[in-house]
Amino acid sequence: MPRKSSRNKQPLLPFPEFKKLVAAAGSSTEARDTLRSMLRVHRTRSASWRGQNVVPPDTFLDVVTSAFRAQTDIPLELPLAVTMTLVSGRLLRAGCGIDINGQRIKPILWTLALAASGAGKSYVLQRVLDIAGPIELFPDPGSAAQFVQDLAAHNRSVWVRDEFGQFLKSLDQQTHMAELRDYLLRLYDGQTISRRTKSDPISIQDPALVILGTTVLETFKDCVSPESLVDGFAQRYNFIVAPPDPSRCAADFPLYDLRPYEDAMRTAWSRIEELPLHPIYRVGTEAVEAFKIAFKDLMPADQALPLSFFRRVMFSGIRYAAVYHLLLGDECDEITARDMGWAIRMVSLHLEDARQILDGYGLSELERVVCRVEQIKAEVEASGRKCKPRDLIRRIAAIKTANEAKALLHLTD
């Protein structure tokens, strides 16, 4: 086959992070599967919601977001995330669980909200906490050892952490925090966490926390590397991007005065507190069917999207269904199809917002290159031979080494 001339090379100029993503693709099967997931989500561009799409009318969530919309210019995703966190925390503190076809799931949400600096993250948290009353918050750990000690004393509480991006960065850079990554992985799965101390050994059975991390959107990429973003650890957090709303100008809100809405917010929260809580919330037959339908709708027909990624997202949907069950004021112990329907909207939100974050990591450029690789691969295989790394290096300017070419070929397998 004649060698292609340099004129056929595609002028693809990669993001600085593009090389790192390609290197990650060559590091492990899990990383490749996750990158395939990212590309599939990136190519599935659903409509942005930013409104009432995930907010049931006449609920505590509705009253809270309405108050912040009317009296502030704060992105509404922030009170949304805080409200979901507090309701999830109420279920966890009460020892509630969720049963779906015999599988027990804790009602925990791990959420990472990203907003611009000065967007009002701390203000939202404090004001909603003021409305919901005193709630036990997990203390910020200064080390992995301190985390285990705090977890023994504050298991099943709510952990709210500002500058969460910097916290994640410290897990990779500071020796006294290194073990905390493993503890968090065990925490997510509910596995026993043990540590030997100078005095007595600590062992925490059935650990669980609801986590809300907030961080600055602009600096998140500096804190969390592309390699960290595609490993299994990062997949455990649900991302919410909180962009500014141009329709609500800062000049219109020199003071954030929520007093006109405080009584309504307290009344709505008291309705949640007055609901009887059940040890187990069973996902009803119709809700299970709704879950299955949503799973099929989100999973591509060719199953190129790995189950590990989608199962984590969808299991968040099951947890959200329990949260919506309380928000909707349902006193029974059965999670309904209506609960699941609202929950699936939240799942779609997280997928859409994850796509926005991934754009900042050069995923758009990676997608362009992968598309070109797919084209070249098809052309070469149509000629009767297997596509090799040198075919890509000759025809795509962004690919410089054989290892990069091999990694990209693996992504298209």
d(CA 328, CA 21): 42
Q: What is the mean pLDDT of the chain?
A: 84
Of the candidate ranges 12-26, 188-202, 206-220, the one whose mean pLDDT is the lowest: 12-26
With tokens 């119709």, the residue in question is 286
For residue 16, what pLDDT band results from cuts at 50, 70 and 90? low
Summarize the confidence of residues 84-112 as an average pLDDT: 96
**Closest by Cα among 118, 124, 113, 112 to 67:** 124
Predicted local confidence at residue 306, as pLDDT: 45
pTM of the model: 0.78
Give the pLDDT confidence of 169-178 residue by residue, as tens digits.
Answer: 888 777 778 7
Predicted local confidence at residue 307, as pLDDT: 60
Question: pLDDT at residue 237 above 50?
Answer: yes
Q: What is the dihedral of CA 163, 117, 78, 251, to 10 degrees?
A: 160
Domains, the chain, ranges and CATH? 1-47+362-413 (no CATH), 55-359 (3.40.50)
What are the backbone angles phi and psi of residue 209, rounded to the nearest 5°? -140, 145
**Closest by Cα among 378, 379, 384, 404 to 393:** 404
Buried b (16+ CB within 10 A) or exposed e, 292-324: eebbeebbeeeeebbeebbebbbbbbbbbbbbb
Q: Are 72 and 203 in contact (CB under 8 A)?
A: no
Give the pLDDT confidence of 347-386 residue by residue, as tens digits.
Answer: 988 877 876 776 666 666 677 788 888 889 999 999 999 9
Q: How many residues does the chain have?
A: 413
Question: pLDDT at residue 154 above 90?
Answer: yes
